[in-house]
Amino acid sequence: MPALIEHFAKKFKIKGDKFHMAGHSNGGLSAFRIALKNRKRISSLTVFPGFPSYTRDFERLTRLKKIKVNIFVNDSDKRWKAMTDFTAERLKTVGVDVQYKVFSAKGHKVTGLAGPNSKVLFEAIER
């Protein structure tokens, strides 16, 4: 991922030379990993849902203090909600700017962010 970030940074004019990282489900797990390893190049981290997939990464969450973190999950997605609850609390505890929103919906896909509601994603990044 660092090589891809550098490729885009050279090819395009990127505001502040920082990127918005996002991911859904396993992509959310990867997005956390990438943000933790490349924090100086990341402006925001948005997962729907997602959390750090390695125990040691929970110890490194302070690395995200200068990154806006947005976490979205459905209330019926029990395993993912439990882990995102834990992640959001840990982020708040270590002083990270985190927005955590739980949607009343069934399943794993956070459909509350689809269609006209997708503006929530952009508002979260710009906050």
Q: What is the CATH number of the domain that holds 121?
A: 3.40.50.1820
In a domain, 5, yes or no: no
In a domain, 2, yes or no: no
DSSP-assigned beta bridge partners for residue 42: 19
Domain residue limits at 109: 19-126
Count CA within 13 A, CB hemisphere, residue 58.
14
Residues of the chain with pLDDT under 50: none
In a domain, 49, yes or no: yes
3-state secondary structure of 65: coil
The confidence score (pLDDT) of residue 118 equals 86
In a domain, 3, yes or no: no
The count of structural domains within the chain is 1
In a domain, 31, yes or no: yes
In a domain, 4, yes or no: no
pTM (2 decimals)?
A: 0.89
25 within 8 A of 53, measured Cβ to Cβ? no
The confidence score (pLDDT) of residue 54 equals 93
pLDDT in tens, 104-121: 999 999 998 888 888 888
